């Protein structure tokens, strides 16, 4: 499976280039194993929760905007420490 992260430039401007690298490194590792996809009651899109590889105890959450074939189109939601 593969992914496409939306609005990398906006995330980089809001946080930093190192933060975007942390997100993509975490996504690369998560997409090598089973994904934790959840359908939350108050959300319009399913969410993907992955381990934050930049920190020892953290979770990064993304919205799954769409899926075509084996490519997930993701939007960054938040980091939970």
Give the pLDDT of residue 29. Answer: 93
CA dihedral 9, 13, 16, 17 (to 10 degrees): 30
Q: Which residue range is the domain that position 66 belongs to? A: 2-80
From first to last of the 81 residues of the chain, give the pLDDT tens digit.
Answer: 899 999 999 999 999 999 999 999 999 999 998 888 899 888 899 999 999 987 777 899 999 999 999 999 999 999 998
Could you tell me the pTM of the whole model? 0.90
Q: Are 77 and 6 in contact (CB under 8 A)?
A: no
- Tokens 């194993």, located at residue: 33
Instruction: Collapse the DSSP code of 37 into the 3-class scheme (helix H, G, I; strand E, B; otherwise coil) and give the result.
Output: strand
Q: Please state the domain count of the chain.
A: 1
Q: For residues 15 and 40, what is the distance between their CA atoms, to the nearest angstrom?
A: 26
């Amino acid at each position: 499976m593969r992914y496409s992260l939306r609005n990398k430039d906006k995330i980089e401007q809001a946080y930093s280039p190192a933060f975007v690298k942390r997100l993509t490194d975490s996504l690369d590792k998560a997409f090598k194993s089973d994904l934790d996809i959840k359908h939350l009651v108050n959300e319009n899109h399913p969410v993907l929760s992955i381990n934050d590889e930049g920190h020892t105890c953290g979770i990064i959450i993304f919205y799954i905007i769409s899926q075509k074939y084996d490519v997930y189109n993701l939007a960054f939601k938040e980091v939970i420490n």
